[in-house]
Amino acid sequence: MSALFEPYTLRSLTIPNRVWMPPMCQYSAPPEGPQAGVPQDWHFAHYAARAAGGTGLIIVEATAVSPEGRISPYDLGIWNDTQVEAFRRTTAFLKSQGTVPGIQIGHAGRKASTDRPWKGGAPLGPEEHGWQSVAPSPVAFDERHPVPAELSVEGIREIVGQFADAARRALDAGFEVAEIHGAHGYLIGEFLSPHSNKRTDAYGGSYENRTRFALEVVDAVRAVWPEDKPLFFRISATDWLEEAGWTADDTVRFAAELKEHGIDLLDVSTGGNAAGVRIPVGPGYQVPFAARVKAETELPVAAVGLITEVEQAEKIVANGEADAVLLGRELLRDPSWARRAARDLGGEVHVPEQYHRSV
């Protein structure tokens, strides 16, 4: 049997295959008013197509725990009940197709309040639906970004509570997997890295202090997320800096601690916290980081990063480099990638009744 199409069980949840969709922002929610952060028809059609295509787990894009936590004014949010109600349409459809619905909850930190990528992604001011960003320290991401406001301890505690509230709402919306966004230079990742965290209090300086906020978020979310449902954590395994950054060694150490705090799987990416770094991008370029975590800890991992070919994905899982693969851009290009891969590998995947005559 194909390794890619073996079911995978975490806690009491069984995911039908190892072809998963990672969070990919669509920047398509209304920016203000009662519909701010609410999923629209585009979001439903986007995720529904990949479910009909056989994807085992779909993790909905980075969804903000507060209005100020959005990457852009056009991001999804899960800070109110209007958003919860709108999400139910998508989660119900994904389940009807045999796909597990997941959601990534996050806070953008100093990289918040920016325009949509196809508009240039520049920071936005108040006249353009923008707001003041916050961070561990008053250190701008790059020369284009404004200096963020340094979070007080009270502000940190408030955001920890917002993550817990977001997890409660995610459960109410019908999601089966929650993922905490600790990657790509957003708020949690900013606390983890000495490149962006210059604090001298209990949340900065030593490794133990820099990981404190992340673990407080994990504990708060795990306390409200049901014991029988899995909780993921997405991490950037390295800042790709030669010094004064988060490293692969840190990731391995932290992975073991995350497992102790109730994380069930580490979603391993890289980069995003330091501007202007050189990243050796190529097919599967981030897989070795996932493989190292899997080899050196007991925490399951998912691999991501230019995984495009069926044989490539099969080999990653079959060789034990990762427990699952997350296909980003390839699933944007081909919503039915999983169904095509199953046909090539002799695996089984859900096929909608309406498509039976064409497969």
186 among known catalytic residues: yes
Residue with tokens 């059609």: 45
Q: Are 275 and 239 in contact (CB under 8 A)?
A: no
Number of other CB atoms surrounding residue 343 within 10 Å: 15
Q: CA-based angle 11:12:18, to the nearest 5?
A: 75
From the list 315, 266, 270, the residue with the least C-alpha distance to 295 is 266
Dihedrals phi, psi of 31, to nearest 5 degrees:
-80, -20
Q: What is the dihedral of CA 173, 62, 114, 304, to 10 degrees?
A: -160
Helices (DSSP H) in 236-336: which residue ranges? 248-260, 287-296, 310-318, 329-333
Contacts with 242 (C-beta within 8 Å, 6 or more apart), sequence order: none
DSSP for 194-211, please give it.
TTT----STTSSSHHHHT
Q: From CA 82, how far away is CA 168, in angstroms rounded?
A: 14
User: Residue 234 is inside which H or E element, if any?
Assistant: strand 231-236
Options 47, 74, 186, 203, the catalytic residue: 186
Cα 113 to Cα 101, 140, 288, 338, distances in angstroms = 27, 13, 33, 35
Q: Cα angle vertex 249, ends 245, 252, to 5°? A: 120
Catalytic residue list: 186
